[in-house]
Amino acid sequence: MADGPSTSVQTTADAVHCKLCLSDCPAATVSRLRSCDCVFCTRCLCQYVQQTILTRGGDPITCPDLACKHAGVLLDSEIASFATADQAELYQRLKFMRGVQLDPSKSWCPVLECQAVCNVMPSAEGTPVPMHCPECHAVFCCECRELWEDSHFCSQHPLVVPPANDSGMPHADAPIKQCPKCRVYIERNQGCAQMLCKSCKHTFCWYCLQNLDGDIFLRHYDKGPCRYRLGHSRASVMWNRTQVAGILVGISVIVLVTSPLLLLASPCILCCVCKPCHRTKDKKSKNKTTTTREREPSASIA
């Protein structure tokens, strides 16, 4: 199998190391994910996909390797091959329902017997307007999704994505935005401006949508238009940076201390695992036993 920078496995001549079960598997029993090129044994992938379908509720199924650089998402064809027919059908149904819930321009028909998907277009003034179901022709409110009646009063106002500005980007203070990587709608009602998408695990700034995956010290909020807009006090940010720096220094110290010990112990470790040495010792032991038997006097018959 090809070995490249995006591969997350260690291969030998006739086996592939699976990071899920931590065992070496024959090459014929493994599968490679198309989106990220990671390789795992097929049995582990089947268990992972089937468990994820039952627990994630239609969310995209990502590569099981947390250290995957590409954060690959499994294709529908791969999910169908790793799951049973019933589970694959369940995943597609949950995925469709999740898409309707996250799309502010769509809604379920409020009539229980219908449950059709309807297009919702709020009025430009932001006032509630009646919408018509294309299947059962029921009339419901575009805001609260309740049946429209005479003198209807809308008591619930779900958040609506504000229109983009002239540059095509959403407003900085918009309550709902799309993840810049997977385009899933995300709502922010409180908390800091460093956002983590639950769908694709992408970290970004809420105001400018800049990538923050590698910004462990949050230096993005030290300058530029997002300066001091993280949402935490300066003391809290400095304490967080001190903790991160302390963890990195601690790991470095451990590596520096243990490296000489590992170098000194490496000859002993190699000797213990060296098979030719064990074979030589076994041969010497067998030769010694044979020589001892030859030297023993034969028993005399009385």
| Active site (catalytic) residues | 192
C-alpha–C-alpha distance, residues 205 and 290, integer Å = 77
Count of CB atoms within 10 A of residue 274's CB?
A: 11
Enumerate residues 6+ apart whose C-beta is below 8 A from 237. Answer: 218, 221, 230
Count of CB atoms within 10 A of residue 194's CB?
A: 17
53-65: burial string, b at 16+ Cβ within 10 Å, e else? beebebbbbbbbb
β-strand 39-41 against 194-196: which pairing, if any? unpaired
Sign of CA dihedral 34, 35, 39, 45: negative
Q: Where are the alpha helices (DSSP H) in the chain?
A: 42-56, 76-82, 85-102, 234-273, 275-295
C-alpha–C-alpha distance, residues 223 and 232, integer Å = 15
73-89: burial string, b at 16+ Cβ within 10 Å, e else? bbeeebbbebbeeebbe
| Tokens (6 digits) for 167 | 């540059």
The answer to whether 53 touches 87, Cβ cutoff 8 Å, is yes
Across-strand partners of 131?
Answer: 140
